Structure 1
């Protein structure tokens, strides 16, 4: 019989529930339903007494295995430092992650306490401000968290050069002139960032785009989804929020202003880090394009074909925000 060697499989929710009942101190019966399929599979888990959890099963990614050891250690440190985050739940063996066998290989699973509160509103400047405050608290706590042992460093090699290579290897960008534009933009951006020379290094959330949080009853932004966390540029961690408000046709720079206001209410930002964040918007876009390009064989070339059209946004950002400084 022919073995198709699957790239990706989707676990049945009842199998996930059984897996959790065997490995966690949660009284059953447990119900489970899938919340999201994407770079990871995410399930809502409900125990006998209606207590709610979120189980994340990591997918295989081009970067390599999920760094759940560093991620859960950082989350535990943040929780102990009174930073509002979704802390991981230990297993019966007091571990914070498990390996589960799937047809494509081993996948890492982590169980988190489900967060109460509401989703942030795109039009609410208070929500943007709250996200800025929590990120600043995170960076304050990160000052005493060891950076050794993390599998990935959020540097230019990881965020810019490897994604560019994945785009090229995927064959998604067929026009040689378009790919040459991407190479030129990446090169100019990398040189501009390296020219700062004194950028702050910290432990990053890595994906603080404003919606990996819930707004609790006292107005705090409680963070989750630290799958892309790791030691890296503070300016990059800031830039993700700006990028989320200006990319793909959006133009919500007022939210960026509120976010920075919230951040500065807790922690100062150096002039170099603030300036570099504008350049890191391009880096973030390359990172996302690289993630999608790496999934072309799984998601299909039609799904990731938008990558070939993104030079327009990147050129616009270079011209209007980095040269003409309209922001």
Structure 2
């Protein structure tokens, strides 16, 4: 009998050997497994002193990784002067290699490693993060490379994740129509706001997919990485990811005074760098809920790897209560 494998985890040493074989780089002398989340991420150290990051793409509910678009968008942003972690090509000029694994081939991409510290909770860090995001959006307006395989629209963020969530083994007949109704009302509320601004999104700009660097003049600058979720989409969604991360995602969660001030620093700095129309501002709280539906769909898609108790029924029940409260959620300005 041949066992089916949901997702295997290669060692850091084996990833180092693959990179050594396929990339025209100096010798890989350090390898470290950094994290296992939606993808698996490794840090590699070279004899020339450089550090690189290898990302082994995992199976996602959306489909195949968006490799061609991601590599081209990163190159465009870098050429426009944005501080981003670019794709490192193979010795043959390819943007990725296929890694043969028991569950089937998976794409491995290599990226520049950027130094720095995660965005802190000081006003200076948050404002640098917001300004950097505005610079990405402005530079993205002139992107003319390969099209993204995915648009960060309501189908991608809400409808498809909802369908995956409804099929989860921990979903119940009682909860299923409640989630469906919440999804329908959320979509209607967003559509009622009219036409919303579109940008080339980072897609996951919650403050921990960028570092803050400080130069010799003590100026802070944001540098960005982890563009696996990048794609064209609503500005309101992009701006909703940070307050979604700040807000307690619990039944009785209330935005703390500290978090509210962090949000004010963020949105004020972004608006100073780049205008945000009123309709987009109004849509941000609704897209916080869309972000939560997206996350629930991702968790449902990871059940073969993480197990059904990564999303138990009592957790889903609490999500219904929370999302009902979020239907009237507002953010301070």
The verdict on a shared fold, with TM-score over 0.5 as the criterion, is yes
| 1:195 pairs with one of 192, 196, 221 | 192
- Displacement of 1:147 in angstroms is 7.1
Deviations along 1:88-133, one digit per CA (max 9) or x if unpaired, are 1121112222221111111111111111111222x22222211211
Counterpart position of 1:233? 234
Is 2:255 aligned against 1:246? no
Aligned counterpart for 2:277 among listed residues 252, 270, 286: 270
Does residue 1:287 correspond to 2:285, yes or no? no
Matched residue, 2:72 = 73
Matches within 5 A, 1:91-106: 91-106=90-105
Among 307, 310, 313, the residue aligned to 2:322:
313
Alpha-carbon distance in 2 for matches of 1:307, 1:114: 37
Structure 1 residue 282 displacement after superposition: 0.6
The CA distance in 2 between the partners of 1:44 and 1:37, in whole Å, is 13
Question: Which consecutive unaligned segments of at least 5 residues does structure 2 have?
Answer: none
Per-residue deviation, 1:77? 0.5
CA positional deviation for 1:84: 1.3
Q: Give 1:15's aligned residue.
A: 14
Match of 1:149 in 2: 147
The match for 1:138 among 118, 136, 139 is: 136
Match of 1:220 in 2: 221
CA 1:226 to 1:47, structure 2 compared with 1: closer, same or farther past 3 Å? same
Shift of 1:135: 1.1
Give the Cα separation in 2 of the matches to 1:85 and 1:37: 22
CA distance in 2, matches of 1:26, 1:16: 14
Cα distance, 1:24 vs structure 2: 1.6
Q: Distance in 1 between matches of 2:30 and 2:127?
A: 36
Q: Which runs of 4+ in 1 moved over 3 A?
A: none
Aligned residues: 321
Is 2:43 aligned against 1:34? Answer: no
Aligned-pair CA distance for 1:66: 0.5
Cα distance between partner residues in 2 of 1:201 and 1:315:
27
How far the C-alpha of 1:186 sits from its partner, in A, is 1.1
Structure 1: segments with no counterpart, 5+ residues: none
TM-score, structure 1 length as denominator? 0.93
Contact 1:172 1:308 (8 Å CA) reproduced: no
Deviation, 1:21, is 0.7
Q: Is the 8 A contact 1:69 1:97 kept in 2?
A: no
- Structure 1 residues 117-155: Cα deviation after superposition (integer angstroms, max 9, x where no partner): 11222x222222112111111110111113762111111
Shift of 1:319: 3.1
Q: In 2, are the aligned partners of 1:55 and 1:110 still within 8 Å (CA)?
A: yes
Q: Give the deviation of 1:215 after TM superposition.
A: 0.6
Are the aligned partners of 1:117 and 1:214 in contact in 2 as well (CA < 8 Å)? Answer: yes
TM-score, reference length from structure 2:
0.92
CA contact (8 A) 2:203 2:230 kept: yes
Q: Show the 5 A alignment for 1:158-169.
A: 158-169=156-167
Q: CA RMSD in A?
A: 1.6
Q: Secondary structure of 1:149's match?
A: coil
Secondary structure of the corresponding residue to residue 265 of structure 1: helix
- Counterpart in 2 of 1:255? 262
Counterpart of 1:204 in structure 2 is 201
How far apart in 1 are the matches of 2:329 and 2:211?
A: 33
